[in-house]
Amino acid sequence: MIQIDILNWYEASLSPGERKVRGHFSTPPQLVEQILDACGYLPDRDLSCIRVLDPACGSGNFLGAVTRRLAASREQRGTGQRVLLRSVQRNIWGFDTDPIACFLAETQVRMALMQSSIPVRKQHFHIHQADGLAFPWEQGETVDLFLANPPYLAAKNNDLSIYRSTHKKGQADSYLLFLELALQTVRPDGWIGLVLPDPVLARTNATLARQRLLKETTVHHLWHLSGVFAAYVGATVLIAQKRAPARTHQIAWIRGQSSYAAEPKDAAAMQKQGQVSQAFLSIQPAAELRYLLSDRTDELVHRLHTDFCLAANTGRPASLQPLSELVSVRRGEELGKGSPVLQHKLSNRHKEYPVLRGGVDVRPYEIPVGQCWIARERVVKPLERYLSPKLLIVKSTGRLQATLDLQGHIVLQTLYLLNLRLAAANALDELYFLLALLNSRLLREYVYVLSTAYKWVQPQIEQHVLAQLPIPMTNRELRLQVSKRAKLLMHACSPETAVVELKEQEIYEEQERDICKLYATALEEGRLRLSSLSFSVG
């Protein structure tokens, strides 16, 4: 619409840096319409008494669309202009801290009414220059429809300590405060339509918010989209109703590349769709909204994830143990790759250690070789962590990749180092065994589907995800064979080639078959069956 383009001039005039700092990214009009449809705010219904709140209204794309639908509803029912004006003035509320955005939002509401031939010269509307999070909402459940595309402001870059809930629950991102506000203010059976950054699906600091969401609301839709905004983050659209979910309720999910410049049918063709049980999401570690992200099916990955999650509630069998029971999982030195502390030539002036900087120095199965050095006095964390044999895993990647370091490298924060918890005569065998698992297709797919695919932009493997990886503890002889092959692969790997390109491909494939056999045996010994569930998994 021409009117919408005119109103978007303000956002377009901001520099990319300014938009990022302020979190100013308007919701595309087509997405606004889809959200209103999903929340049941339809023109063929009587909308005159539905109270709508957008606590971060920006330029008013939600409020303008709501007003147009309210006007269309009035026309279908033949009610008078005054009734419509009273409904708009009483039931449409918007807040924003930016005075220009508030002006544009009110302009959108006025234009929507003028399109229905409603005179609006002197009328006042409830669009206020104010912080929606700081407004006194103690009155509680008063909203029928909560709509928001809140700014994504992380606590590390912004002071969020002024909000009381950050003290009570330790939340560290502003979008979580808006999710909490929605749960607080929406009346029973009311609706929530939120556009949130995709870290909400799995980030640790959103655990309490996800648990409350899954307990207190029926989540009808989760749309995980890339390309919605010109920002380095994917979008999650959350559509929920304020009522406890039925035990068998299935959430409809969509995952794909958005294309709001195209016709709706073209955008839909780019997306994958499915269903997932809300009850199943509730029992995942930290109530993560992960399994909907799978666009492929792998029976063993599916069984492993399902059984391991269910076992967590009843006590895990000895046949499967979380990785954290076998090794410690830590980050390296809190230094960037360009830190002046790092030396690119060996000076021999002090005791110095070789440094591994991250994925640039670590490839699956390769013997790592540091390309720079650090002086002993610059190493902050305990030196013994680095000097003892350790597994190394790249952090900033969507796929698991691990190697074994026996040369005592210092590593940066872009790597996780895994040290065995208990010293044993067969310690190296255990490390080689874990190395094989961490580089296996099975665990790579497991981590990707359940952990890293949730983030469209700049995926990374989180520390707690590694800690909870299931490790088979059955069939000692087969585990020893896997360990021996891992040693062969470690020595066969050249500095230039990846594992899949090794001449020893036959050894690698045999290794993969035995790893799958280990996991299948562990699941069988645990006697965990999906058929025991009274709900289905999407």
**pLDDT at 300 (0 to 100):** 77
Residue 338 confidence (pLDDT): 86
Summarised one tens digit per residue, pLDDT across range 432-482 is 999 999 999 999 988 888 888 777 777 889 898 899 899 998 889 999 999
Confidence tier at 413 by pLDDT (50, 70, 90): very high
Tokens of 218: 């029926």
111 bridge partner residues: none
Residue 366 DSSP code: P
If 0-12 CB within 10 Å is exposed, 13-18 middle and 19+ buried, where does residue 231 land? middle
The DSSP bridge partners found for residue 37 are none
- Structure confidence by residue, pLDDT tens digits, 199-220: 898 888 899 999 999 999 999 9
Closest by CA to 470, choosing from 339, 316, 360, 264, is: 316
Extract the runs of DSSP E, i.e. beta strands, from 151-244: 186-197, 218-226, 235-241
Residue 164 pLDDT > 80: no
**The total number of structural domains that make up the chain:** 1
Average pLDDT, the chain: 82
Helix, strand, coil percentages, rounded to 5, for the chain: 40, 20, 40
On whether residue 309 sits in a domain, the answer given is no
Q: What is the pLDDT of residue 81?
A: 80
pLDDT at 256: 81
Q: Structural domain of residue 464, as residue ranges?
A: 320-526
Q: Which amino acid is at 349?
A: R
Q: How many CB atoms lie within 10 A of CB 464?
A: 16
pLDDT at 474: 86
| DSSP labels, 378-394 | G--S-HHHHHS-EEEEE
Q: Are 233 and 175 in contact (CB under 8 A)?
A: no
- What pLDDT score does 51 carry? 95
DSSP state of 355: E
More confident site: 240 or 89: 240
pLDDT at residue number 517: 92
Question: What pLDDT, on a 0 to 100 scale, did the predictor assign at position 155?
Answer: 47
| CATH code (residue 476) | 3.90.220.10
- The residues that bridge with 472 in the sheet, in sequence order, are 320
Per the domain annotation, does 410 fall within a domain?
Answer: yes
Residue 429 resides in a domain: yes
Is residue 133 situated within a structural domain? no
Residues in the chain: 538
508 assigned to some structural domain: yes
pLDDT tens-digit series, residues 261-282: 444 444 444 467 888 899 989 9
pLDDT higher than 80, residue 17: no
468 belongs to a structural domain: yes
Cα separations (Å) of 166 from 22, 133, 146, 413, 496?
Answer: 19, 11, 21, 27, 48
With both helix axes pointing from N to C terminus, report the angle between 207-216 and 174-185 in degrees, rounded to the nearest 10. Answer: 20
| Torsion angle in degrees (nearest 10) through CA of 376, 379, 381, 387 | -50
Helices vs. strands in the chain: H and E counts, helices first: 19, 18
Token digits of residue 322: 């979380």
pTM of the model: 0.72
Residue 521 within a domain = yes
Establish if 47 belongs to a structural domain.
no
pLDDT tens, residue by residue, 365-377: 889 999 899 999 9
pLDDT band at residue 117 under the 50/70/90 scheme: confident
